[in-house]
Each structure stands twice: as C-alpha cells, then as structure tokens.
Amino acid sequence: MKKEYWIVIIVYIAMQLSSLVGLPAMMFGFKSLGISQSLAVPVWLIVSFSIALLIILFILRKEMNSPHFEKRGSSSFGSSVMWAIVGVFLAYFAQIFAALIERLLGVEMGSENTQNILRIIETMPAAIIVTSIIGPILEEIVFRKIIFGSLHKRFNFFISALVSSVIFAAAHMEFQHILLYSAMGFTFAFLYVKTKHILVPIFAHVTMNTLVVLVQTVYKDDLERLQREAEALQNFIGGFL
C-alpha cells in the first residue's frame, strides 16, 4: 500500500477519535460563551469531517491530477452514469435482503447509529451535509478506493470485498448489524470494480444516505400516517376474516 494511503487511513482514524478530546473542549467553550451545548455535537461533526476531507483530498491531489487517474480499463461516461443510478437500487436491495436475513436470525430491526444521526440533524439541519455527502465520500475513499483497491491488487474480488466490507461494517460500531453493513460494502465494492470510477459508488452512497435522511425527517409524519392507515385497513379487513 502506498505511503499516502496509510496517511489517509491515519487521518480518518484520527478524525473518528478526535471527538474524545475535541467534543468536551467544544462543549466547555460553548458553555463559557453561553451557547447551547447541544450544538457542540453537530458543530464538531461538521468541523472534524470537513477538515478530514480537505486533508485527504490534499494528500491525494497528485494522484487525482494524474492523467491516468482511474482511466485504465474504466467504463465510459454513459456506462458509469448508468451504474451509478442502478447502484442506488442495488444498494437498497442489498440492504433489504441483509435486513431480512438478520430478522430471521433474531436481530432486532432499527439502527442506533441512524437514530443518533437523525437526532443530530434535528438539532442542526446543516449536519445533513456530513451524513449525506462528506461522510459517504470519506468512506468510499477509505474503504473502497484504498482498502478494497489495495486488496484487489493481490486477491480476487470476493476476498477483497469481504475483508474491506467487514472492516467497513466494524467501523460503524454496530456489530449486531454487521451483515447489513457488509452487504452495503459488497455493493459499493462491486460498483467500483465494475466501473473503476470511485465517483460511481460515491454517487450511490451519497444518494442512498440522502434519501434515508429525507424519508426519516422531512417525510416522517407522512410515513407515520401511511403506517397508521395501513394498520387500520389491516384491522378492518381482519374483522371480516
């Protein structure tokens, strides 16, 4: 693995661990300034992720500016656009399939990470920039381009995707849903190896995260209403059976 890639991984890990020191310091500062401490989490999230992305893009600037950057054997523009769109549906199907298997195994539905993210967005809507855009970009660079890409140079797709996807899943710290996150990782790895354009899995990941956030925030009331109506209809029909 290139030296630059190791530095990128270190930057990513440092970003994840930075809240252990940075967040308490920001909360103390907000308290001293009379600012609501509830804003410290979303503000730190935005600041830390944005700085990490800028640093990583700076580290990879020479590679990205190279005339051969992800062009050898890569798909055409039209094919990449098609796979980017199809990839969104593949990601959802993979997520649904994995969730069904988890349910059969007795794993409770629902993600604590997702609920925490939604609470952060409710506190500061601007945090959606991180959860829907910056976060997915960082994850695709680290887990797909660097970790999966480096492994795929030595091993076949299955082994490379399996290892990188399990690491991707473990990084979310929800080990009961490791199958679900791994399924997502496999999907994004497939999109990357299929097109050889990191922007394709980035697009699919960003779109998926954005839709999930929108559905569970903007359209939350509509979904709850539809669910109540569906339950009422089911009970009504059940009364005649």
Which residues are designated catalytic?
A: 139, 172
What contacts 165, CB < 8 A, 6 or more positions away? 143, 181, 182, 183, 184, 185, 186, 189
Structure tokens given for 74: 């890569």
**CB of 45 closer than 8 Å to CB of 127:** yes
Q: What are the tokens at 185? A: 């990782």
Joined together, the tokens standing for residue 107 give 């794993």
What is the CA 173 to chain-centroid distance, rounded? Answer: 13
CA 96-203-224 angle, 5° bins: 45
